[in-house]
Amino acid sequence: MRLIHTADIHLDASFAGTGMPASFGNRRRQSLRDVLMAILQRAAEWPADAVLIAGDLFDHERVTPDTAALLRSAFERIRPVPVFIAPGNHDPCVPGSPYVTDRWPDNVIIFDRPEWRAHALPDAPLTVHGFGFDGFDISANPFGALHPPSDGRAHVAVAHGSERGRQPSGKTAYAPFHAADAADPNLHYLALGHFHRLTPITGPFATTIYYSGAPEGHGFDETGILHYLEVEIDPPQDGPPMVRVTPVCAARAVYEVHEIECDERSHSQQVIDAIRNLPAPEARERIARIVLKGSCPPALQSALPAVYDAVTEQFAFLDLLDETHPVEDYDALAASGTTLGIFIQRISQEIADAPDARTRAMLERARLAGLSAYRGREMPIRGLERGNM
């Protein structure tokens, strides 16, 4: 049997707050659509015996009728391949959801409540089990309650939840469970969603358990190549079926975060060359955050807007952050007896007395702003301070 396992696509996701222009958010939403269409095309051409979507297919609060129509059409096109959907915390089965209001093709099976339900494929020795969220927080947690029969069929399950042993830092737990409790000798593969990175779950149990991760990133906390999974299950030969899992990258865009130290760089071309020489994923849009660190001579700081203009064409989007500090003799300036010297003396004392790193960084930025204004120089860029970023 051949299965495709994906999750956490988040169609119609909001990219507000990322610092990207509104038009770029539209491009990102289209890219997520394109990724899903490519996965479904692969399902039809391989062909897969089933597609497993382990929740958060779309964002309920933003999903449009147009996106729902696209999904119905796309699932219809890959018939007779069945599509099994286990709604998660972002796309729960609630009143007003397209899962409830729309008429889906007959090859789409939506697990619409928080209890395990089984669907046996009529033309293959495969049974798919699943459950779905009935609210933005699930009303019951079915993990640990699935015990398939030993009937010679391959049994797989699809669900959305948080395996406690692999919970990422800062990620909210939904339907939490321990892998050993969710596993069962007769459950051969458990397809999970909620964690956005490819995560195999191993332990002293027979069930093969994977989070597919999101097939494309949604922000700078989801960098690098992400995946969907192709799963092959060989029929049992005097034992449990053999399960093989192959990660496949379908992302059209890749998020990157890089730091460039400026301590040894004396002019802008050195920074430009360093950015141009950063490793680049092949044939994918690059969405990059590049942080300039260390000390920086005034001549180089004043040239940073030109650095941005020189390299921006390499990227679909570039967030260039200047976190350098100038090579300045503030002690000499403070002792100069000028108005600038008095300003530097006072703010340098505030920096020395700062109660925490964030306040110190803000005061250092204010000192640099005052110095730039006094000298009539453009303030070095940081993040989205430039209007065209």
Same domain, 277 and 353: yes
Q: pLDDT tens for residues 82-136?
A: 999 999 999 999 999 999 999 999 999 999 999 999 999 999 999 999 999 999 9
- Output the pLDDT for position 45: 97
Same domain, 174 and 216: yes
Tell me the residue range of the domain where 47 lies: 2-248
Quote the tokens at residue 256.
């990157």
Q: What are phi and psi of 285, to 5 degrees?
A: -65, 140
Residue 160 near residue 54, CB atoms below 8 Å? yes
- Output the pLDDT for position 97: 97
In a domain, 383, yes or no: no
The domain boundary, picked from 248, 282, 304, lies at: 248
What are the distances in angstroms from CA 293 to CA 258, 321, 325, 358?
10, 9, 8, 16
Q: pLDDT tens for residues 203-234?
A: 999 999 999 999 999 999 999 999 999 999 99
pLDDT-based confidence at 241, cuts 50/70/90? Answer: confident
**Cβ-Cβ contacts under 8 Å for 83 (sequence gap 6 or more):** 50, 51, 53, 75, 107, 108, 109
Domains of the chain: total: 2
Same domain, 288 and 140: no
| Residue showing tokens 């007959």 | 106
Mean of pLDDT values over 27-53 = 97
DSSP H/E element including 259: strand 253-261
Q: What are phi and psi of 290, to 5 degrees?
A: -120, 125
| Residue showing tokens 């659509």 | 33
- One-letter amino acid at 101 equals T
Q: pLDDT tens for residues 246-282?
A: 999 989 999 999 999 998 888 999 999 999 999 988 7
The domain boundary, picked from 226, 248, 270, lies at: 248
Residue 284 near residue 249, CB atoms below 8 Å? no
| Measured distance CA(86)–CA(156) in Å, rounded | 13
Same domain, 49 and 135: yes
What are the distances in angstroms from CA 19 to CA 128, 192, 194, 239, 312?
41, 31, 25, 54, 16
pLDDT-based confidence at 384, cuts 50/70/90? Answer: very low
In a domain, 384, yes or no: no
C-alpha angle 367/389/302, rounded to 5°?
Answer: 40
